[in-house]
Amino acid sequence: MTNDLGPVLGVGMVGYAFMGATHSQAWRTVGRFFDLPFSPSMAVLCGRDHDGVTAAARRLGWAAVETDWKELVKRDDVQVVDVCTPGDTHPEIAIAALEAGKHVLCEKPLANTVEEAVAMTEAAERARARGVRSMVGFNYRRVPAIMLARQLVQAGRLGTIHHVRAQYLQDWIVDPEYPLVWRLQKERAGSGALGDIGAHIIDLAQFVTGQRLVGVSALTETFVKERPLPEASSGLAAAAGGSGRGAVTVDDAALFFTRFDGGALGSFEASRFASGRKNAIRIELNGSAGSLAFDFESMNELHFHDHTEHKAVPDVAGFRRILVTEPSHPYLAAWWPPGHPIGYEHTFTHEVYDFLRAVAEGTDPAPSFADGLQVQRVLDAVERSAAHQSTWTDVGG
């Protein structure tokens, strides 16, 4: 099927909450700013509640709806399946889509367990042999400043990497009366702050350095052990005769030390109990020839220190602030004039653009399901280390 913009690639998306909205924005805008090999068609949106998914499709721009993801996967007008559901559903949906010959974009973390991630990666490899592509959605890789940081590391501007420090801090569950949503239930989410936001900084650190984490020593903690059930606020739980509260079965915060396979040391912190921090992602790399520092709360900036200047001009050597808005910077030629910042939603547009380009070129998009599996192995090692009182735990794989 084609239109005036070229071959049409039909997209079916499963899930329409927060991630569904961000992905919808990406599918709507990507063809308006980037030259694409395909014209993406927002063919169908899937959700279990018919009224809810119908309203979301109307609001977000989808042409049709399904209430069963298996029906979505069967549709002839769907060539890409975009999985934006909780982690416990990722394996079944993604594997079925790949086996049906659909390209798959799956939100992070890839799965809830290493075993599930292995099964998904094996399915992706089988599908790859038939020309079917897959990618896991670590969107923060697509921040232009992060891409520039990776380029500087690859160019040797930091020399040998010695230290990596990474934080992802939020505060949305500090209130002990915040309800027991699915992200606080291990059977749905797999883990808490560790998998939800810690996965991002693990991927970012490995992406920017080009190195893998090989072992960890970790601590995790759940500060609020019990929370009101979501129904309690409407009185439903009380009417049913229940207590209206349930156990939190995931971590609220995770800390760990690590070593990279290139020899660097790392410290990582993921917390949803950092009062005043809404979405604070920070990463700093220190090397023999220089350093880099990034803070997502100033996402259009990268701070770079060239340590080779220190010997020549020590009185003025230090960190420089790079405003990452030039058309020569990654992705930014598609957007606004220099000095005009972009935002969070653009990372998803960049993600979709890279995915579509890889599908058209018959190349492997990154991060792959295998990359997602590597992150899952690190998450598993952190949980195992914390369970054994912070003993050193190999990542494995």
Separation of alpha carbons 267 and 264, rounded Å: 10
- pLDDT (average), residues 290-295: 98
pLDDT confidence of residue 151: 98
What are phi and psi for residue 13, nearest 5 degrees?
A: -115, 135
Inter-residue contact 247 to 225 (CB < 8 Å): yes
Which of the listed residues 90, 112, 140 is the one where a domain comes to its end? Answer: 140
- pLDDT (average), residues 59-64: 98
CATH number at residue 124: 3.40.50.720
Q: Is residue 113 part of a domain?
A: yes
Beta bridge partners of 103: 80
Q: Is residue 397 part of a domain?
A: no
The DSSP letter of residue 230 is G
Q: Which two tokens stand for residue 157?
A: 């501007």
Strands 39-46 and 64-66: parallel
Separation of alpha carbons 242 and 232, rounded Å: 9
- pLDDT (average), residues 143-160: 98
Q: Is residue 394 part of a domain?
A: no
Q: Predicted confidence band at 2 (pLDDT cuts at 50, 70, 90)?
A: low
Q: Which of 325, 284, 316, 288 is nearest to 303 (CA)?
A: 284
Burial (CB count within 10 angstroms: exposed 0-12, middle 13-18, buried 19+), residue 317: middle
CATH number at residue 316: 3.30.360.10
pLDDT confidence of residue 389: 78
Q: Is residue 393 part of a domain?
A: no
User: Collapsing DSSP states into helix, strand and coil, what is residue 326?
Assistant: coil
Same domain? For 232 and 131 the reply is: no
Which of the listed residues 140, 164, 187 is the one where a domain comes to its end? Answer: 140
How distant is the alpha carbon of residue 59 from its chain centre? 24
Tell me: the pLDDT tens digits for 312-326? 888 888 999 999 999
Which of the listed residues 110, 140, 170 is the one where a domain comes to its end? Answer: 140
Same domain? For 124 and 34 the reply is: yes
Residue identified by tokens 């079944």 is 92
Q: Which of 265, 169, 162 is nearest to 216 (CA)?
A: 265
Beta bridge partners of 226: 247
Q: Which two tokens stand for residue 365?
A: 């998009």
Structure-model confidence comparison of residues 145 and 2, the more confident one: 145
Which range has the worst mean pLDDT, 4-13, 92-101, 127-136, 254-263? 4-13
Q: Cα dihedral angle (67, 72, 73, 77), rounded to 10 degrees?
A: 180
Cis-peptide into 109, omega within 30 deg:
yes
Same domain? For 126 and 148 the reply is: no
Tell me: the pLDDT tens digits for 35-54? 999 999 999 999 999 999 99
Planar angle of CA 385, 221, 187, nearest 5 degrees: 80
Q: Is residue 16 part of a domain?
A: yes
The DSSP letter of residue 391 is -
Same domain? For 152 and 64 the reply is: no
Domain of 67, in residue numbers: 2-140
Q: Quick one: CA dihedral 319, 321, 327, 333, positive or negative?
A: positive
Q: Longest Cα pair distance anywhere in the chain, in angstroms?
A: 75
> Which run of H or of E encompasses 93?
helix 90-99
Q: Is residue 302 part of a domain?
A: yes
Q: What is the pTM of this model?
A: 0.94
Same domain? For 215 and 330 the reply is: yes
Same domain? For 304 and 349 the reply is: yes
Same domain? For 132 and 155 the reply is: no
Same domain? For 266 and 351 the reply is: yes
Same domain? For 107 and 190 the reply is: no
Same domain? For 218 and 332 the reply is: yes
Sequence-ordered alpha helix ranges (H) in the chain? 18-33, 50-60, 69-74, 90-99, 114-128, 144-154, 186-189, 193, 199-209, 236-239, 308-312, 344-361, 369-387
Q: Quick one: CA dihedral 324, 269, 373, 94, positive or negative?
A: negative
Q: Which of 105, 167, 109, 111 is nearest to 349 (CA)?
A: 105
Number of domains in the chain: 2
Same domain? For 133 and 179 the reply is: no
pLDDT confidence of residue 390: 61
Tell me: the pLDDT tens digits for 163-183? 999 999 999 999 999 999 999
Same domain? For 363 and 251 the reply is: yes
Q: Is residue 56 part of a domain?
A: yes
Q: Is residue 287 part of a domain?
A: yes
pLDDT confidence of residue 235: 46
pLDDT confidence of residue 1: 56
